[in-house]
């Protein structure tokens, strides 16, 4: 019998080296440097080239699909098992990191870097799982195709394009969520809301860069001297245990409020700087846009104030206000909804339009379907059994999540790891990290699972 953990440990240094090299690349979407064969910008192109170079170094067949995505084939069977990961990352806050997010460091057994847990580290774990199966000369009925894209954090255009050019694998998983295995993912709706208002004492509000991140910092500008607001704003910060600042700029006042970033699928783990700012602004202004934000989103992460259905087979809905701008009396915000299939697109838009109508707001949106794989299927059962073998965890069972992954981009695919129960890898937050011991254990789990699914 194979000792897959021992095989992983033999390659520990190589695994860490490859992850660290990938994490040095700040592969955030950059449309200013987008061009042919690098549709998501220069740094995403560099990350794609770096991953392809790893496959070529190890002697595998590699292919670049027009800069959108690439793959590495390990084995030569006709049928294919897919492991899908992404190379792009979300932006980093200007402040809040204890180290350079693109200069990976290891402290107390934890690897700190943007992308270490989402999703460069897990992608390399999946790659080495397939590499180990190959190097042990285990006969397989399927080759493993490691597929990697560069736009998962902004709509997965990479994988949508890739699968117009390449066939779907027979089955697969993406190491881009949590353990145990995920049999269901909520539908995701991004709703772009806008409106115009008459001038009042609110000059501007700015927060957020991505719908799928809880915005940490919000900046607001209001008419009048800071002396009008200094006492009430500081009292508000103290009441809610928040950080912030206030200063005078000419004939108006600049307010900064600092919350806490988090992933949009778990907005309750963050503190939405934009929503908390609007809650304060409502005490000093009659601005109707501010009233709308405060009325429907303050201390409500599940849509109760919108009267969203609160239960479903994939759990409660979640809402994140990810982007807000208010300038020249023009209002704009982007909401990220994660909902069980029982909440239809028609019902969701009906409820939002009912709420927006008195505030003269309008919306456009796009919505993905939910994912559901039978928990009793071979794929789910073999993945889960591999997890249990290396963790002896019989408490945590196959699960549904709010996160959206590449699993939705192909049939018979699910999310599987890499974060373990009761661990927090700070995904999409300051000081993103992954425990090296957990990473190596996950690699062993992936190797065992792959063995069970593709062996002859």
Q: Per-residue pLDDT tens for 323-338? A: 999 999 999 999 999 9
Give the mean model confidence (pLDDT) for residues 155-171: 97
Average pLDDT of the segment spanning 349-366: 96
Residue 403 has pLDDT above 80, yes or no: no
- Residues for the chain: how many in total? 456
Phi and psi based region of residue 326 (left: phi greater than 0; alpha: psi -120 to 50; beta: remaining): beta
Contact 111, 436 (CB under 8 A): yes
Task: Count CA atoms within 13 Å of residue 167 on its CB side.
Answer: 7
Report the alpha-carbon distance of residue 19 to residue 14 in Å, rounded: 9
Instruction: Looking at the structure, give the CATH architecture of the domain made up of residues 187-367.
Output: 2-Layer Sandwich (3.30)
pLDDT at 406: 96
What is the pLDDT at residue 260? 95
Averaged pLDDT of the chain:
96
In this structure, whether the domain defined by 4-185+371-454 belongs to CATH 3.40.190.10 is answered with no
pLDDT digits (tens, 9 = 90+) for 254-279: 999 999 999 899 999 999 999 999 99
Q: Which of 20, 4, 27, 26 is nearest to 128 (CA)?
A: 4
Q: Residue 1's pLDDT is what? A: 81
The pair of structure tokens assigned to 456 is 């002859």
pLDDT of residue 40: 98
- Which tens digits make up the pLDDT trace of 177-199? 999 999 999 999 999 999 999 99
Cα–Cα distance for residue pair 189/338, rounded to 1 Å:
7
For 238-251, the pLDDT digits (tens) are 999 999 999 998 88
**Mean pLDDT score, 95-120:** 97
Whether 4-185+371-454 shares its CATH topology with 187-367 is answered: no
Taking the model in full, what pTM does it have? 0.78
Tell me the domain boundaries of the chain: 4-185+371-454, 187-367
Segment 52-67 mean pLDDT: 98
CA distances from 62 to 123, 132, 170, 225 (A): 15, 18, 19, 61
Residue 309: what pLDDT?
80
Which residues are designated catalytic?
88, 152
Percent above pLDDT 90 for the chain: 93
Element (H, E) at 82: strand 80-86
Query: Residue 310 pLDDT more than 80?
Result: no
As a whole number of angstroms, the distance between CA 127 and CA 2 comes to 18
């Amino acid at each position: 019998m194979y000792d897959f953990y021992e095989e992983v440990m033999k390659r520990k240094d190589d695994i860490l080296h490859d992850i660290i090299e990938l994490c040095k690349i700040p592969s955030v979407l950059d449309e200013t440097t987008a061009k042919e064969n690098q549709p998501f910008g220069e740094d995403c192109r560099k990350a794609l080239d770096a991953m392809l170079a790893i496959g070529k170094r190890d002697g595998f067949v590699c292919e670049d699909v027009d800069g959108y995505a690439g793959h590495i084939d390990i084995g030569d069977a006709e049928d294919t098992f897919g492991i899908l990961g992404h190379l792009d990352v979300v932006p980093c806050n200007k402040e809040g990191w204890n180290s350079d997010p693109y200069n990976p460091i290891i402290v107390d057994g934890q690897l700190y870097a943007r992308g270490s847990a989402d999703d460069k580290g897990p992608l390399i774990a999946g790659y080495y799982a397939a590499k180990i199966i190959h190097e042990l000369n285990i006969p397989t009925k399927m080759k493993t195709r490691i597929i990697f894209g560069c736009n998962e954090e902004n709509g997965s255009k990479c994988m949508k394009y890739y699968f117009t050019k390449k066939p779907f694998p027979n089955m697969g998983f993406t190491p881009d969520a949590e353990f145990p295995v995920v049999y269901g993912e909520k539908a995701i709706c991004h709703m772009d809301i806008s409106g115009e208002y008459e001038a009042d004492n609110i000059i501007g509000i700015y927060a957020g860069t991505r719908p799928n991140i809880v915005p940490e910092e919000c900046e607001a500008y209001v008419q009048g001297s800071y002396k009008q607001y200094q006492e009430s704003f500081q009292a508000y910060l103290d009441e809610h245990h928040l950080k912030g600042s206030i200063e005078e700029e000419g004939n108006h006042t600049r307010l900064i409020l600092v919350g806490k970033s988090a992933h949009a699928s778990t907005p309750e783990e963050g503190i939405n700087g934009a929503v908390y700012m609007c809650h304060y602004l409502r005490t000093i202004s009659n601005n109707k846009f501010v009233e709308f934000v405060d009325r429907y989103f303050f201390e409500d992460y599940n849509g109760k104030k919108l009267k969203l259905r609160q239960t479903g087979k994939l759990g409660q809905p979640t809402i994140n206000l990810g982007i807000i701008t208010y300038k020249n009396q023009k209002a704009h915000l982007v909401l990220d909804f994660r909902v069980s299939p029982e909440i239809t697109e028609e019902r969701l838009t009906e409820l939002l339009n009912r709420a927006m109508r008195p505030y003269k707001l309008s919306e456009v949106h796009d919505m993905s379907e939910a994912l559901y794989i039978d928990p009793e299927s071979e794929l789910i059962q073999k993945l889960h059994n591999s997890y249990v073998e290396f963790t002896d965890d019989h408490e945590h069972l196959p699960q549904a999540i709010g996160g959206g992954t590449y699993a939705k981009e192909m049939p018979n695919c699910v999310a599987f790891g890499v974060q373990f129960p009761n661990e927090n890898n700070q995904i999409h937050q300051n000081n993103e990290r992954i425990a090296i011991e957990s990473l190596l254990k996950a690699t062993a789990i992936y190797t065992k699972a792959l063995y069970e699914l593709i062996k002859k």
